[in-house]
Structure 1
Amino acid sequence: MNVYLVGGAVRDALLGLPVKDKDFVVVGADFDEMKSLGFVQVGADFPVFLHPDTHFEYALARVERKNGTGYQGFATKTKGVSLSDDLLRRDLTINALAIEVGGLFDDTPKTGQVIDFYNGLEDLKHKILRHISPAFCEDPLRILRTVRFLARYADKGFKIADETICLMQQMAQNGELGHLSRERLWAESIKAMEAGTGHYYWRALKELAILPYFLKELDDCWQDNTIFEQTIANLTIAKKHNIAVQFAILTSGDLYDKYLNKNLVANIAQKLNTPKYPVQIAHLLIEFYDIFNQTPKAKDILNLIEKTKAHQGNLQSLEDVLSAICIINKELDKVRLYDFLKTAIAQYKNININDIDKSLTGKDIGIALTALRVQYIQKLINNTFGEYND
């Protein structure tokens, strides 16, 4: 039995980056042997196991044969498979590097020598993302994964090899991305955004001419280069914000056309199976993005409080919408506006049924409460924004 540290851990260590997760390949073992040593199999038929102590992944060396569509359409073989066979099935040359370690319970490198069958070290040196073999095209997820690597290492000057770009474009044009589940499309995309590289990721998809086959509605919107460049610039500012804020910025489009923007959000959310919360923030941005472009109206502030449910004690939606608004309108003072909104919320909550005509009934109670709240919020606006303008 021989055990090798492979993939991202080797790649990132050579790039001088922190190594978070370790993946291993085991040559010369079988399912029963791994289980007998306490390793927990991942899936009933998949040759990947979790280490009983570290929970790192240890995979039996395997080769895969395409027997269906999408990223799940493969038959796997493990018997008699060598390390070079296993590494050949991987996506990029820089991800096919390996270092032999002591064993299943000793991940200390034996010599530290990097095993490189497919010129990965040379590509790493020249900062090139290159597919290993034509088998790259068997898994459409590799299109987005390669773009995500490009985004991740963009600051280091990495580029995709021309022949790999051509292959990715051909796969996209053949409709391969359509074989991926919506969950996988969303999961791969948010990895780039969670890493703070979403602006690189989306720009690359557009400039590599892959976006039309991935999210046509977004590509159509970005045919207006001004909207495209402004969205990417805003995504750059939003890179440290949560996914909800970034999704709202991504789908902001031409904010002067709220009807088209609502359709844009709905279409993208449907194709990516976007969770409800980011979609909610995107719609709230469309509705309220311009309320602070001039002295706000009390009714708009009241609607913002109620639609974010900030008056019920949860301020996260309000914070996220305000973050997105301030990213789009960079002249706004977010801290000042947030303090103003918290005061408005406090005034909203302080007004109750005891403050209105007690003879009112039914809908008239709500109308009177709303009118009184608008009145108090208007006074707050006059005081706050009068000073602000001074």
Structure 2
Amino acid sequence: MQVYLVGGAVRDALLGIAVQDKDFVVVGADFDTMKSLGFVQVGADFPVFLHPDTHFEYALARIERKNGTGYQGFATQTKGVTLADDLIRRDLTINALAIEVGGLFDDTPKTGQVVDFYGGVDDLNNKILRHISPAFCEDPLRILRTVRFLARYFERGFTIADETIVLMQTMAKAGELSHLSRERFWAESVKAMESGTGHYYWQFLKELNILPYFLAELDECFDDHQILQTVLKRLALAKNSPVAVQFAMLCSGYLDGLDNENLSKTLINQTAKQLNTPKYPVQIANLLTEFWGIFAQKPNTNNILRLIEKTKAHQGNTQTLKDTLTAIGMVQADLDIVKIDELLSHAIAMYKSVSIDDIDKNLTGKEIGLALNRLREQKITQLLSEYVYE
């Protein structure tokens, strides 16, 4: 049995990047051996196991043969598979590097020598992302992964090899991305956004002509060069913000290209459906669409009340309002968001201060709600009258 540290851990170590996760390949073992040593299998038939102590992934060396569509359409073989066989099925040469370690319970490198069958070290030194073999096209997720790697390493000077770009574009044009589940689109996009490189990720998906094959509406919006540059600037500003704010920035081009709130929301929801975006980021994008302009001049009572109620800030949900204000501040860069936040804090306090004890006790049914709303309006109108807006 031989055990190797593989993939991203080796790549990042060679780049001088702190290693977060470790993945291993085991040559010369089988399912029963791994289970008998306490390793927990991931899935009923998949040859990947979790270490009983570290919970790192240890995979039996395997080859996969295409027998269907999408990223799940593979048959797996582990018997008699070598390390070279296993590594050639990977996506990029820089991800096919390995270092032999002491064993299943000793991940200390034996010699530290890098095992490199496919030129990954040279590509790493030359800062090139290159596919290993034509088998790259068997998994359409690799298109997005490669763009994500480009986004991650772009500031280090990395580029994608010309032949890999051609292959990615050929796959996209052939409709391979349609075989990916929408969950995978969102998961891969989140990885880019959470790493702080989402602005590059979306930029390169557009530049490499991948975007129209899974986000046609967004691609059409980005055909306007000025809108694209504005959105990319906002995404760069939002790179350390929550994913919900970044998604709102991604869709903010619909605000610039349309003067129709309902149509903008329709396009946001279409984009969200194609990406399988969770409800909360969609909510922030829609709130931005509805409220982005209310502070362009002195705000009015009705808008403040609607913003409080739609974000449920009066019920203690401060995060939704915070993310909405962050998004508004990135679209309206000249706003003093700190001052606006202070105003809204006072408005929320006044909203919450109104109670049934403050209205006529003889009122019933809908009259109670109307009276409460009138009193809230009065208090917030008074607040706004004293608010110095610049």
Same fold (TM over 0.5): yes
The 8 Å contact of residues 3 and 25 in structure 1, kept in 2 or not, is answered as: yes
Q: Which residue of 2 aligns with 1:63?
A: 63
The 8 Å contact of residues 258 and 287 in structure 1, kept in 2 or not, is answered as: yes
Greater shift after overlay, 264-273 or 71-80? 264-273
Give the AA of the match of 1:58. Y
Q: Which residue of 1 aligns with 2:164?
A: 164
Aligned length: 387
Give the AA of the match of 2:268. V
What is the CA–CA distance in structure 2 between the aligned matches of 1:2 and 1:360, rounded to whole Å? 81
| Residue 261 (structure 1) aligned with residue 264 (structure 2) | yes
Give the AA of the match of 2:41. Q
Q: Which residue of 1 aligns with 2:325?
A: 322
Alignment of 1:305-384 (within 5 A): 305-384=308-387
Give, in angstroms, the shift of residue 6 of structure 1: 0.3
What is the CA–CA distance in structure 1 between the aligned matches of 2:326 and 2:332, rounded to whole Å? 10
In structure 1, the residue corresponding to 2:253 is in which secondary structure? Answer: coil
What is the CA–CA distance in structure 2 between the aligned matches of 1:139 and 1:263, rounded to whole Å? 31
What is the CA–CA distance in structure 2 between the aligned matches of 1:282 and 1:135, rounded to whole Å? 38
Alignment of 1:116-265 (within 5 A): 116-255=116-255, 256-265=259-268
Runs of 4+ in 1 over 6 A off after TM superposition: none
Q: Which residue of 2 aligns with 1:276?
A: 279
**How many percent of aligned residue pairs carry the same amino acid?**
70
Give the AA of the match of 1:358. K
| Residue 14 (structure 1) aligned with residue 14 (structure 2) | yes
- Per the normalisation by structure 2, the TM-score is 0.97
Give, in angstroms, the shift of residue 361 of structure 1: 2.6
Give the AA of the match of 2:335. L
Give the AA of the match of 2:202. W
The 8 Å contact of residues 253 and 261 in structure 1, kept in 2 or not, is answered as: no
Give the AA of the match of 1:228. L
What is the CA–CA distance in structure 1 between the aligned matches of 2:322 and 2:361, rounded to whole Å? 35
What is the CA–CA distance in structure 2 between the aligned matches of 1:7 and 1:382, rounded to whole Å? 62
Give the AA of the match of 2:90. R
Give, in angstroms, the shift of residue 379 of structure 1: 1.8
What is the CA–CA distance in structure 2 between the aligned matches of 1:34 and 1:359, rounded to whole Å? 75
What is the CA–CA distance in structure 1 between the aligned matches of 2:352 and 2:24, rounded to whole Å? 57
Deviations along 1:165-185, one digit per CA (max 9) or x if unpaired, are 000000000000000111111
In structure 2, the residue corresponding to 1:110 is in which secondary structure? Answer: strand
What is the CA–CA distance in structure 1 between the aligned matches of 2:215 and 2:121, rounded to whole Å? 34
What is the CA–CA distance in structure 2 between the aligned matches of 1:161 and 1:135, rounded to whole Å? 16
Give the AA of the match of 1:320. D
Give, in angstroms, the shift of residue 47 of structure 1: 0.6
Q: Which residue of 2 aligns with 1:302?
A: 305
The 8 Å contact of residues 284 and 321 in structure 1, kept in 2 or not, is answered as: yes
What is the CA–CA distance in structure 2 between the aligned matches of 1:232 and 1:356, rounded to whole Å? 50
Deviations along 1:157-201, one digit per CA (max 9) or x if unpaired, are 110000000000000000000001111111111110111111000
- Structure 1: gaps (5+ residues): none
Give, in angstroms, the shift of residue 340 of structure 1: 1.1
- Structure 2: gaps (5+ residues): none
In structure 2, the residue corresponding to 1:112 is in which secondary structure? Answer: strand
What is the CA–CA distance in structure 1 between the aligned matches of 2:359 and 2:192, rounded to whole Å? 52
Q: Which residue of 1 aligns with 2:78?
A: 78
What is the CA–CA distance in structure 2 between the aligned matches of 1:273 and 1:373, rounded to whole Å? 38
Give, in angstroms, the shift of residue 109 of structure 1: 0.4
Deviations along 1:97-124, one digit per CA (max 9) or x if unpaired, are 0000011111000110111100000100
The 8 Å contact of residues 177 and 213 in structure 2, kept in 1 or not, is answered as: yes
In structure 2, the residue corresponding to 1:153 is in which secondary structure? Answer: helix
The 8 Å contact of residues 254 and 267 in structure 2, kept in 1 or not, is answered as: no
What is the CA–CA distance in structure 2 between the aligned matches of 1:107 and 1:228, rounded to whole Å? 46
Give, in angstroms, the shift of residue 22 of structure 1: 0.3
- Per the normalisation by structure 1, the TM-score is 0.97
The 8 Å contact of residues 91 and 136 in structure 2, kept in 1 or not, is answered as: yes
What is the CA–CA distance in structure 1 between the aligned matches of 2:71 and 2:191, rounded to whole Å? 18
